[in-house]
Structure 1
Amino acid sequence: MTEPVTDRVWTIPNILSMLRLAGVPLFLWLLLGPEEDLWAAIVLGLSALTDWADGKIARKFGQTSHLGQLLDPAADRLYILSTLLAFVLRGFVPWWFVALLVVRDVSVGIALLILRRHGYEALQVNYLGKAATFCLLYGFPLLLLARAASSLETVTLPLAYAFIVWGAVLYLVAGAHYIRQIAQIVREDTPAVR
């Protein structure tokens, strides 16, 4: 059974998502300014924790809202893209890895614009997309932790790369799945040319 979606703005999940969005500039400053990797990892880890909490609270207390359905994935995308950009600038990941994920986001974004042009709303986030976001938002702080605390590197670095690689694979598969779904919806909506 799907939860009813409200037009409420000031809900706990929405406030958590707003705080997550506000944390992006702080995270980037910590990572690119003073290069405080441990503090950046903490901000990113808190973002991942509040990402989990806002969805849990929304479902448990009936606080699912239209605004939350926009804010939550926007915060996820913004953290993922800003983290990847900062990681490339710091030399943590190769540029082609980031380009691959950016091309995925741009492709899904174009597909969603086509879907809206046909009068449909955005698709619900599927399990693959959630799993990909989970892996990436847990892998990134682990990578920062490995860089910040060399004594933990032997444990955290393999875990970080495992989460990031699995997250990237799932992210690409989820993107292909969204595009396939959108193509099917648009194809069924378009009358056959005779």
Structure 2
Amino acid sequence: LELFWKDAAGKPFQSLHNLHAAQQAIGRTMLFGINAGMYHPNLAPVGLYVERGQEMASVKTGSGSGNFSLQPNGIFYIRDGRAAVRATRDFVKRRPTVDYATQSGPMLVIDGKLHPKFQADGTSRKTRDGVGVRKDGVAVFAISNGTVTFHAFARLFRDALGCDNALFLDGTISSLFAPAIGRKDDYWNLGPMIGVFRKS
């Protein structure tokens, strides 16, 4: 599992289609891809972004508006081949050295509890994608087929997928590349993305 933002020429990949084609050109087969967090109009990550051990955007801890700043937000990261999701405040307190990381928000599940701002009768319904990590360390990704509330999406990760910690990645433009199940979404102007490949 790897994170991607820019190609070798320094230009954002912009779409899962472009990422797949670029990896295919160097002999790699992408098994799965999904957009990986929020980004600015220039496609730069809003918060922390680490790729191959290099920090390319700094962690954001201040307040603001929108889903990203609905505290607590969080960070999905890979360290020594193991995945984890942690609230940003906890990540910053005991910051690990990571190979890959992307910051987004809000957290969906924090240590087995739903985000405190989510309401069972909430009315905001959108397409959503996110990532959680099970107790055995397996990363689990999900994308809604239709519009869902944050509360329902968070319960999916906690109650159905067994994730004690899970993070919202994106909303309306949520994109999935999963040829094994017939999904090859082709939204454009995406920022950071996640790609999964078979171990060589």
- Give the alignment's TM-score, normalised by structure 2: 0.28
**Larger proportion of strand:** 2
Structure with the largest fraction of helix: 1
Between 1 and 2, higher relative CO (CA 8 Å, sep ≥ 6) is seen in: 2
| TM, length-normalised to structure 1 | 0.29
